Amino acid sequence: MVRPKEFDERIALAAAMQVFWEKGYEAASLSDLTQRMNIQRPSLYATFGGKRELFEAALKAYVQSSLTYIENQLRSDPSVKKSMLAYFQGVIHGAGGSNPDFGCLCVNTMVELAPHDPVFADITGDFQARLTELFQRTIDHGIQSGELPKQLNASSIARVLTLSAIGLSVTMKTKPDPARVEHAAAEILTLLE
């Protein structure tokens, strides 16, 4: 056809995701975004539609890659307990290129936007549901392998693990004593006994 784009949409989207992650939706200005994405303002509008649409795309990409990453982590060890612990350690110390100071983009969005915008309530609610399902499947697997006791209420415990992961990602933003938080994480996992 004609003049090709001079940038890679996926790379630009990943850069936008980082900015929203670090600053939040409102606090991320178009100047911040275009600068970090290395594109000009009209290119952003032509490609993504606008700030809100860009954020929606970035958040959805985050949900996808985050869940994929977690799924792999929950399969990283034959022991369910060990891989669960590894997951929580990752939330506490940062994993997959994430900085615990900025928590989870999805959790941040629940706080900032979900109460005022049903679209983001849906997206972030879906994230929680899928994460809970991941936990539940992992617990079920552990029960089947004999590592975990049969009488566990896998569904409720999975929901608790999701709640705990959210709580952890928030609490880490206040830079608490890591040892204390690790003890708490270990205590949470006693629910699997």
Partner DNA sequence: CTCTTTCTATACCGATCAGTACATAATGAT
Partner DNA sequence: ATCATTATGTACTGATCGGTATAGAAAGAG
Site of interaction with DNA (CB under 7 A): 1-7, 28-32, 39-43, 45-47, 50-52
Which DSSP state fits 115?
G
Give the separation between CA 93 and CA 130, rounded to whole angstroms. 23
The C-alpha atoms of residue 145 and residue 1 are separated, in whole angstroms, by 57
Nearer to DNA, 38 or 156 (CB): 38
Say if CB 157 and CB 192 are below 8 A apart.
Answer: yes
Place of tokens 């900025």: 102
With CB under 5 to 8 Å by kind, the binding choice for 4 among a copy of itself, DNA, none is DNA
Angstrom distance (rounded) from CA 28 to CA 20: 6
Would you say 39 or 189 has its CB closer to a copy of itself?
Answer: 189
Smallest distance, Å, CB 186 to DNA?
41
Binding-site partner at residue 180 among a copy of itself, DNA, none, CB < 5 to 8 Å by type: a copy of itself
DSSP state, 105?
A: H
Partner touching 43 among DNA, a copy of itself, none, CB below 5 to 8 Å by kind: DNA
Residue 190, binding choice from DNA, a copy of itself, none, Cβ under 5 to 8 Å by partner class: a copy of itself
The residues that touch a copy of itself, with contacts defined as CB under 8 A, are 22, 24, 26-27, 101-103, 107-108, 110-112, 114-115, 121, 124-125, 128, 153, 155-157, 159-160, 162-168, 170-171, 173-176, 180-181, 183-184, 186-188, 190-191
Integer Cα distance of 144 and 34 in angstroms: 50
- Report the alpha-carbon angle 39-44-48, nearest 5: 140
